[in-house]
Structure 1
Amino acid sequence: MSKTDLTHLSATGTEIAVRVTPKASRNAIKEEDGVLRVYVTTVPEDGKANAAVVKLLSKAVGVPKSRLDLVRGHTSRDKVFLVL
């Protein structure tokens, strides 16, 4: 798992845009060229990859999973999460 510190994004109302890569070799969060990339090992079916992204992102941001809401990109690789 990556050690990316995203605690500066934990304020209520913050939108976090990410690019997701499912079926990766390991779970990780990296910032590449100003884009936040989330790599998850799960497959993109029945919301499994979205759940894995929420779990990984909540740990990196330092908020409970219940405070992250997927507002755009339910079936897309580009997603936007809102911190509640």
Structure 2
Amino acid sequence: MTEINKQEVFTQVKDALIELFELEADDITGEAHLYQDLDLDSIDAVDLVVHLQKVTGKKIKPEEFKAVRTVNDVVESVANLLKDA
């Protein structure tokens, strides 16, 4: 298994946020909070999970995503998912 490139995961997450929610690329940083900074809600979070499942081909457990607060948290969650493959 190759090492998971977190920069690639970040790029995928960023692209998903731009595509799904029409966010400005400059607003999406690793430290950006999904709910406060990017103005997403719980329905948006579900949409993001569904999109990431399609991109990764992996099932994301809802309980794993409950602790996610920032873009970096999403990246870590996806990277861990891919690492466990």
**TM-score, length basis structure 2:** 0.39
Higher helix fraction: Structure 1 or Structure 2? 2
Q: Higher strand share goes to which structure?
A: 1
Normalised to the residue count of structure 1, the TM-score between the two structures is: 0.40
State the structure with bigger RCO (CA 8 A, min sep 6), 1 or 2. 2
